[in-house]
């Protein structure tokens, strides 16, 4: 009986506490292959068929470079704004109790449920020259709609929930004892925030930033209505891909998509690497 029990325990240690590792791992890899890897490989193969000269001719086109710069630059600015404002909003929702808090909390998820085209139309109606805010802003010399700044506004709107919802659970799990200990040792509130709270929430802030950035780079519906879509001024890369497809220029669309894929992967890889190092430093 003892040998049977020891043999069972040995097999359990080899297989792990939960059964089905091989089956679930196979399903996971197959699903990722069908949904993610195969389409990406097909995209790369299609782009590689042009040859180096053909690929470079499309990639170095001034209109393509302008659209890429606008898409990534606007997404970066919007993600930075979301990271700061999202941290403030998450802090208020977690640390304070006030009238209307539940409604305010529910409104954060509105960009998730709202169709992006509806968001774009609503933002355009607000910030256009004859809109509620646009009229006063343009009178002050600030143009939002049909300009690059309108793209940033749209991307801030769609990316804010990622920053807030990523940070909320981390703030809820923070131990107040650390802040109380810092205060008892004479640390000011700014010092406590900078030296105690910020290091604990920084990995979550980076995660929210990367999610908002990834959403902003590929955003289309909420941007095309408020951007104005002028080449070299307010034309984003996803719109240029659609334009190339409508012109039956499949090679051009493929190259632009490949550029966006490579740049996005590189930036997200660097952000995730930094996040892992920060998390590893906290656990040491």
CATH number of the domain at 162, please.
1.10.3720.10
Same structural domain, 40 and 75: no
Q: 137 in a domain, yes or no?
A: yes
Is the residue at 226 inside a domain?
Answer: yes
Q: How many other CB atoms sit within 10 Å of the CB of residue 8?
A: 10
Tens of pLDDT, residue by residue, the chain (284 residues): 445 445 544 554 555 555 566 777 778 888 877 777 777 777 777 777 777 787 888 888 999 999 999 999 999 999 999 999 999 999 999 988 888 888 988 889 888 888 888 888 889 889 988 888 888 888 888 889 888 999 999 999 999 999 999 999 988 888 777 777 777 777 777 887 788 788 888 888 988 999 899 889 988 888 988 988 888 998 999 999 899 888 888 888 888 888 888 888 888 888 878 777 776 766 55
Domains in the chain, number: 2
Q: At a CB cut-off of 8 Å and minimum separation 6, what does 171 contact?
A: 90, 91, 94, 95, 201
Residue 156's domain comprises 53-283
Query: 36 and 132 in one domain?
Result: no
The token duo for 68 is: 């890429």
Query: Do 193 and 131 reside in the same domain of the chain?
Result: yes
């Amino acid at each position: 009986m003892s040998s049977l029990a020891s043999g069972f325990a040995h097999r359990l240690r080899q297989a792990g506490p939960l059964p089905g590792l091989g089956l679930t791992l196979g399903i996971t890899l197959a699903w990722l292959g069908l949904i993610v890897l195969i389409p990406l490989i097909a995209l790369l193969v299609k782009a590689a068929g042009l040859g180096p000269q053909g690929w470079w001719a499309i990639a170095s086109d001034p209109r393509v470079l302008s659209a890429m710069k606008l898409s990534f630059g606007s997404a970066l600015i919007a993600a930075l704004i979301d990271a700061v404002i999202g941290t403030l909003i998450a802090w208020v929702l977690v640390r304070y109790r006030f009238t209307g808090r539940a409604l305010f909390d529910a409104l954060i998820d509105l960009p998730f449920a709202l169709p992006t085209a509806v968001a774009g139309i609503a933002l355009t109606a607000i910030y256009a020259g004859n809109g509620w805010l646009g009229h006063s802003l343009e009178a002050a010399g600030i143009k939002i709609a049909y300009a690059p700044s309108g793209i940033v506004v749209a991307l801030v709107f769609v990316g804010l929930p990622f920053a807030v919802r990523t940070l909320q659970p981390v703030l809820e799990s923070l131990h107040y004892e650390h802040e109380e200990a810092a205060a008892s040792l004479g640390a000011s509130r700014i010092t406590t925030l900078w030296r105690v709270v910020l290091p604990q929430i920084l990995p979550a802030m980076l995660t929210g930033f990367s999610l908002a950035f990834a959403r902003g780079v590929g955003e289309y519906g909420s941007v095309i209505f408020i951007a104005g879509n002028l080449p070299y001024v307010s034309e984003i890369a996803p719109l240029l891909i659609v334009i190339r497809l409508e012109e039956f220029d499949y090679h051009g669309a493929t190259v632009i998509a490949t550029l966006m894929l490579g740049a996005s992967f590189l930036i997200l890889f660097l952000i995730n690497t930094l996040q892992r190092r920060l998390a590893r430093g906290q656990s040491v």
